[in-house]
């Protein structure tokens, strides 16, 4: 690799505009000319972003370089001269990672050159590379963008479907699964939904701006394709809102169920306490250590006390049933 080429250059491909691509040696990147073909450079900027290389060797403006290498980003799009900047997010499908921890992809697109950067691996980018290796990839820079956005939307859709399936499973196992387990599942679902929606909403807005103001880079067909992808992301956003509302309703029903269960238990304890209250009074009265207590010298005293307490309990139960408290 050339001395002035960053170590984190993941790949440099020259698209043949027929669906295929060939690798470009690091030494030949600076020799590239637009007439050679559509050049795609993909760079990892997680550590030591190659800002100098991007600005002085590749020739990008400073604010473009800053957008491509920023530590934190949110989805947005910008048309600048003959180029287009897009910062997008995709569902994190990397093994061992949480899907809601969305991964960003930053792209600067010109008519004959594409520069993309990442901080973590994004499978949608790998999909594009695989398509190009198979000869079925994009043929223009605009088609590259729409294909990438489509792959990102596919995985967002898959995540939304999984959220809906898990909600349906919780609804179906309402009488089988313990309440605490359902509470934990619903809390995790609400957290994931909120995390993904946080980036899907601005991504929808970025795509709207993109197809409404495509500049000269995108053809009419590519603009229409962008509109379809924006509509699809909008639909996924609406599905996330619906899933969030369903989770809120389920959680409220669960809390009402737990409150009702607690109230039932407290009611039973109150009834038991009410029944034993007169019995406690009688036993406390007869247990007083003073003279003159009735039945102290009678062999039938204990039996009489027991009959009085049983009769009192029966009377209390009959009263509760009469008032329909039991």
Per cent of the chain over pLDDT 70 is: 94
Q: What angle do CA 280, 283, 286 make, to 5 degrees?
A: 145
Answer whether 207's CB lies under 8 Å from 226's CB.
yes
Cβ contacts of residue 100 below 8 Å, gap of 6+? 91, 92, 191, 192, 195, 196
| C-alpha dihedral sign at 226, 227, 228, 229 | positive
Q: What angle do CA 210, 211, 217 make, to 5 degrees?
A: 80
Tokens of 203: 């991504």
Name the strands in the sheet holding 21-23, side by side, starting at the edge strand that comes first in the sequence. Answer: 21-23, 9-15, 38-44, 113-118, 103-109, 83-90, 76-80
Q: Is the predicted pLDDT of residue 300 greater than 60, yes or no?
A: yes
Q: What is the mean pLDDT of residues 166-179?
A: 77
Q: What is the mean pLDDT of residues 295-319?
A: 84
Q: What is the mean pLDDT of residues 141-157?
A: 92
Which pLDDT score is estimated for 174? 67
pTM: 0.77
Q: What is the mean pLDDT of residues 281-309?
A: 81
Helices (H) and strands (E) in the chain, counts: 7, 7
Instruction: Label the pairing between strands 113-118 and 38-44.
Output: parallel
3-state helix, strand, coil in the chain (%, to 5): 55, 15, 30
The residue ranges of DSSP E strands in 111-270, in sequence order, are 113-118
Give tens-digit pLDDT for 210-232. Answer: 888 877 788 889 999 999 999 99
Give tens-digit pLDDT for 82-110. Answer: 889 999 998 876 665 566 668 899 999 99
Instruction: Label the pairing between strands 21-23 and 9-15.
Output: antiparallel
Q: What is the mean pLDDT of residues 9-28?
A: 90
Domains of the chain: 9-257 (3.30.460.20), 265-322 (1.20.58)
Which pLDDT score is estimated for 2? 47
Answer whether 91's CB lies under 8 Å from 155's CB.
yes
Distance CA 100, CA 87 (A): 17
């Amino acid at each position: 690799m050339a001395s002035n080429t960053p170590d984190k250059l993941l790949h440099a491909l020259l698209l043949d505009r027929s669906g295929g691509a060939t690798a470009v040696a690091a030494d030949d990147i600076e020799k590239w000319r637009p007439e050679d073909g559509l050049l795609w450079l993909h760079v990892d900027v997680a550590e030591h972003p190659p800002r100098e290389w991007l600005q002085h060797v590749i020739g990008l403006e400073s604010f473009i370089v800053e957008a491509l290498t920023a530590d934190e980003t949110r989805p947005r799009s910008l048309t600048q001269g003959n180029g287009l900047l897009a910062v997008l997010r995709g569902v994190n499908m990397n093994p061992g990672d949480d899907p809601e921890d969305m991964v960003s992809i930053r792209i600067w697109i010109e008519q004959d050159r594409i520069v993309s950067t990442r901080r973590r691996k994004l499978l949608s980018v790998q999909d594009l590379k695989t398509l190009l290796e198979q000869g079925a990839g994009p043929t223009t820079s605009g088609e590259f963008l729409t294909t990438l956005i489509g792959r990102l939307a596919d995985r967002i859709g898959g995540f939304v479907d999984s959220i809906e399936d898990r909600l349906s499973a919780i609804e179906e196992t309402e009488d089988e699964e313990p309440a605490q387990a359902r509470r934990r599942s619903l809390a995790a679902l609400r957290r994931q939904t909120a995390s993904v929606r946080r980036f899907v909403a601005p991504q929808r807005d970025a795509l709207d701006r993109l197809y409404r103001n495509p500049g000269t880079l995108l053809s009419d067909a590519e603009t229409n394709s962008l509109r379809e992808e924006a509509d699809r992301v909008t639909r996924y956003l609406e599905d996330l809102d619906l899933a969030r509302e369903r989770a809120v309703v389920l959680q409220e029903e669960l809390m009402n169920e737990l409150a009702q269960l607690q109230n039932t238990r407290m009611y039973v304890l109150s009834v038991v306490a009410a029944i034993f209250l007169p019995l406690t009074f009688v036993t406390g009265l007869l247990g007083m250590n003073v003279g003159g207590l009735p039945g102290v010298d009678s062999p039938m005293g204990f039996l009489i006390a027991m009959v009085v307490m049983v009769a009192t309990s029966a009377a209390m139960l009959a009263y509760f049933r009469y008032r329909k408290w039991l």
